[in-house]
Structure 1
Amino acid sequence: MFSPFRDEQGHEKALSDVAWGDLAQLQELEEGFALEFKQTFGPSVRRKIPKIVASFSNSHGGWLIIGIADDSREVCPLPKGSADYSQIIGELCRHHVSPAPRFEVRFLANPQNPETGVVLVRIDEGDFPPYVADGIVEIREGSTSGPADSAALVDLYDRAMRRRQEVERFCRRTVFYPMADDAADDAALFDLYLFHMGPAAEDVHARTRVNEGAAFMQEAFAHNGVECHIQHAHDSLIFRSSQADDMVVPHSAIELFPDASMKLSVPAVMVRGKKRKSALKTLREKTGASLPDDVRLMDASAALQRVTRMASLLDRFVRLSGLSWQEYAVAYELEHMAGVTLWSKDPTYLSYAKTHGILWCATADCLSRVRYLDDGAHDTFRARQFAGSHFFEACGLPLGSPDSEDAALVQALLSTSQDEEMQEPKEE
């Protein structure tokens, strides 16, 4: 995205890297399609801010700089006082612009008088236009904003449709597991798709950005005590939790893209060998269920532990990278999960299964609807909580049920998952 500020090598500076001395570069620039100046932050400017932000969102993004005279480019520092400019501008847009535009605000303090400074507002090109400010669709027209005509409106709607199709294509990506043929049908997977909104990474910088993100991802793996093996793909890096016995037991994988989009694939922890025979015997004896010999059993607690532990890596990666979940679109998918039956030796589960029946995944392979986290309803989003709740719910656990027995079962299985240390299964 365009930046009016450059470093010594001529590269565009990010908002966080702009220094007070960089304001001198504005002397050579004119207001235009992606740049607008305001000298003050008075009532008239505040009324115009939603219109300006919406117009940049409907166009290709841009910068609004407050505290710069639009005729002479003279720096006219604003008083910092007790004002939180980010909050004020955010509230103005929240009440006057729909849908919510994406932008960042920074107060750049004057080094000679830190109680004064300039406000920098960087507005992203919107993913789902048109953005409407007080009932009007504004677009950039030269150095000003104006209402969009019918042709411009058609273009905006087309852009939003293309973006949705791009998200849908991303949610069909697949990570390859080199499993033996006799284990392929037993590969029950939980996939979590995290599409980073905003402009796509330029091809020339794609590999550089992936490598920068790789350092944060490796740090996240190390912090959570998960072994990390990296595999290069044509447009991404794949971080696998193990590779020693993937031909026997597939392990979790995170695919990272240049734009910080991610796909998490977590194989369910299946019960095999002697443990499976013992679990089948216990389920039949304790519940009276007539289970076929070829039923697929999943260790409920260990599977949930694996899902939530891997998803927590994503939470840490986002924090380390300085990103925000509000920049993402999220969906999850079940693969080969239909008919997988939950196994737990917890007495609460065995008692519940005897009365209500054994829990199993009644959903065929499917992709959930896409959630766009920038709508203001997901301010406390956590990948760990999202993945864990949807994984277990898809497997038949009655989350959110008002029934006391359902609630007791949920608490028992969740407590077991949290208390026991995760152990990767071994083939017997």
Structure 2
Amino acid sequence: MSFSPFRDERGAAKELAAVTYADLAQLADMDEGYVLEFKRSFTSSVKAKVPKIIASFANSRGGWLIIGIADDDRSICPVPRLAADYGQIIGELCRRHVSPAPPFDVRFIPNPANEDEGVVVVRVEEGSFPPYVADGVVEIREGSTSGPATGAALVELYDKATRRQSRIAEFCRRTVFFARPVPLFDLYLFRMDTVGRDTPSRDEVAVCAEAMRRAFAAQRLECHVQHAHDSLIFRTSVAFDGMAPHSAIELFPDESIKLTVPAVLCPPAERDRALAALRAACTPQVGEAGRTAPDARQVGAAERTEDAGDAAPLMGAAEQVEPGAPVCLRGAGVAAGAAKTAHPRVMSASDTLRRVTRMAAVLDRYIRERRGSWQPYATAYELENMAGVLLWSDDPLYLSYVRGHGPLFCGTTDCRSRVRYLNDGAHDAFRARQFAGSHFFEACGLPLGSPDPEDNALVDALLRG
């Protein structure tokens, strides 16, 4: 945990959520400094300084701004409770005056003797992507005050942001082992507010593990735990060759998370029915000029693979190529005698989506169990081993969509999305379940927020299904 001016009875640092009005007495022996600043009142002049103070903390090592404490003798001078929440007021000040949005939290701690007054405590985290600019000026901490950054300090701030981006990119390449290659949907959640915090103890890691087990139990899922060298892996089934691949959640000591969900591939009979329906929907229509629609060839193209030998390990035992199946030539220059047989892989949209959203709901439950928030996280999603896997749904709207646009399938082996930062003010209502569900279809080729009403109607229909 990073610096806190408040300590519990054992001397351990307290988080903002645990601070009580009685704890304010601990400030009596403290001076303002690099990570601590006091303001007696919340006047208009103080409001004007708040964005600069918060930006300077975010550009430095984080810090605490406490409003309602005299800066000369550290006496408690309660400020009145306002009709509006102090968090909203300070948040709006920063939205207007600071860019990008700095990471901070605000709490009004009421006076037990008079609930209409109290002290405002602002906890500012060290920013992950500096510089944070307040009204056109890059402010940093200089002793107990804030001031403009010099040239050397600016270079260091930009370097810090670059290093953080590299760490996130490296995290988004984590791989959870499966006994055989399978098509996977991955969701990466990198926690950004742990810079400078101590490595958690075994007991703290055990508390996190128990919260994850409770989250699995809440979804009525089995939970099998594996210990990796730097993480814990929670699986819904035992990881063993020959067993059906199931989902996994990798949890790191800093509470960064990776969710890995195998796609649900259709068994042979259902796959054949799906392919027949897709072929029928994509039957070429001859126009007035005698040309056929280009989308009519997409199913056939998706059925061919550059290396048919790569397809067999991606199927379950029930999905292996049947004797007498049609032959698919591998590629130009490959001898006909070297050709192999393989069926195209078809993924059930409804079954895979159900699996994705159920596992993502485990993550939401875990955050609630930990009494945390998604705002400190950066997130991205990825598809692995998905090249050419056809998306199938028997929803009439999907078949209608296929007639006009062609079937949906992943166009490349690995499709990693851009990173989204959940503390940017645009993701205050973020839930892993909704995000994973909708972006699963985006990863399969269906654009979210498309101007085409047919795209949006299909997303809604598939999510309902």
Question: Which of the five TM-score ranges fits, normalised by the shorter chain?
Answer: 0.7 to 0.9
Match of 2:374 in 1: 325
Q: CA separation in 2, counterparts of 1:157 and 1:405?
A: 43
> Alpha-carbon deviation of 1:321?
2.2
AA aligned to 1:383 is A
Equivalent residue in structure 2 for 1:235, among 230, 236, 249: 230
Moved more, 332-341 or 303-312: 303-312
Distance 1:165 1:415 in 2: 37
- Cα distance change of structure 1 residues 294 and 42 upon mapping to structure 2, 3 Å threshold: same
The alignment covers a number of residue pairs equal to 410
Instruction: Show the counterpart of 2:256.
Output: 261
1:196-228 C-alpha deviation (Å, 9 max, x unpaired): 111247454254433222233222222222222
Distance (Å, rounded) in 1 between the aligned partners of 2:461 and 2:49? 55
- 5+ unaligned residues in a row in structure 1: which ranges? 417-428
Q: What's the CA shift for 1:268?
A: 0.5
Q: TM-score, normalised by structure 2?
A: 0.81
1-side partners of 2:3 and 2:355: how far apart?
41
What's the secondary structure of 2:118's corresponding residue? strand
Counterpart in the other structure of 1:38: 39
**Shift of the alpha carbon at 1:324?**
2.2
Q: 1:95 to 1:344 in 2, by over 3 A?
A: closer
Q: Post-superposition shift, 1:344?
A: 3.3
Q: Does 1:64 align with 2:65?
A: yes
Mark the CA change 1:12 to 1:295 in structure 2 (over 3 Å): closer, same or farther: same
Post-superposition Cα deviations, 1:259-297, rounded to whole Å, max 9, x if no partner, equal 221101111111234544555556556765655652112
Cα distance change, pair 203–101 in 1 and its aligned pair in 2 (3 A): closer
Q: How big is each residue's C-alpha offset from its partner over 1:56-109, in whole Å with a ceiling of 9 and x where there is no partner?
A: 111101111111111111111112242422121111111111111111111111
SS at match of 1:107: strand
Instruction: Give, in angstroms, the shift of residue 136 of structure 1.
Output: 1.1
* Cα pair distance change 1:78/1:406, threshold 3 Å: closer
Worse-matched range after superposition: 125-134 or 193-202: 193-202
Residues 54 and 276 of structure 1: CA distance in aligned 2, closer, same or farther (over 3 Å)? same
**SS state at 2:71 partner:** coil
Larger Rg computed on CA atoms: 2
Does the alignment pair 1:154 with 2:203? no
Task: From the superposition, tell whether residues 287 and 206 of structure 1 become closer, same or farther in structure 2 (CA, over 3 Å).
Answer: farther
User: Relative to structure 1, is the Cα distance of residues 204 and 311 closer, same or farther in structure 2, using a 3 angstrom cutoff?
Assistant: closer
Q: What's the CA shift for 1:354?
A: 5.5
Counterpart residue number, 2:427: 378
Which residue of structure 2 aligns with residue 121 of structure 1?
122
Matched with 1:272 is 267
RMSD: 2.4
Partner AA of 2:118 in structure 1: G
Identity of aligned residues (%): 63
Shift of 1:51: 1.1
CA distance in 2, matches of 1:136, 1:19: 35
Is the 2:382–2:443 Cα contact (8 Å) retained in structure 1? no
Tell me, in whole angstroms, the C-alpha distance in 1 between the residues paired with 2:160 and 2:52.
Answer: 20
Question: Does the CA contact (< 8 Å) of 2:99 and 2:133 recur in 1?
Answer: yes
3-state SS of 2:375 partner: helix
Return the offset for 1:371.
1.1
CA distance in 2: counterparts of 1:46 and 1:400, whole angstroms: 38
Q: What's the counterpart of residue 390 of structure 2? A: 341
Question: How far apart are 1:413 and its partner, in Å?
Answer: 3.6
Which residues in structure 2 correspond to 1:131-146 (within 5 Å)? Answer: 131-146=132-147
Kindly indicate whether the alpha-carbon contact (under 8 Å) linking 1:209 and 1:259 is maintained by their aligned counterparts in 2: no
Q: Report if aligned partners of 2:345, 2:388 keep a CA contact under 8 Å in 1.
A: yes
Matched letter for residue 364 of structure 2: D
Please give the TM-score of this superposition, normalised by the length of structure 1. Answer: 0.88
1:52-131 aligned at under 5 Å gives the runs: 52-131=53-132
- Residue pair 2:200, 2:254 contacting (<8 A) in 1 also: no
> For 1:318, what is the secondary structure of its paired residue?
helix
Contact 2:441–2:459 (CA under 8 A) maintained in structure 1:
no
Residue pair 1:38, 1:69 contacting (<8 A) in 2 also: yes
* Residue 343 (structure 1) shift: 2.9
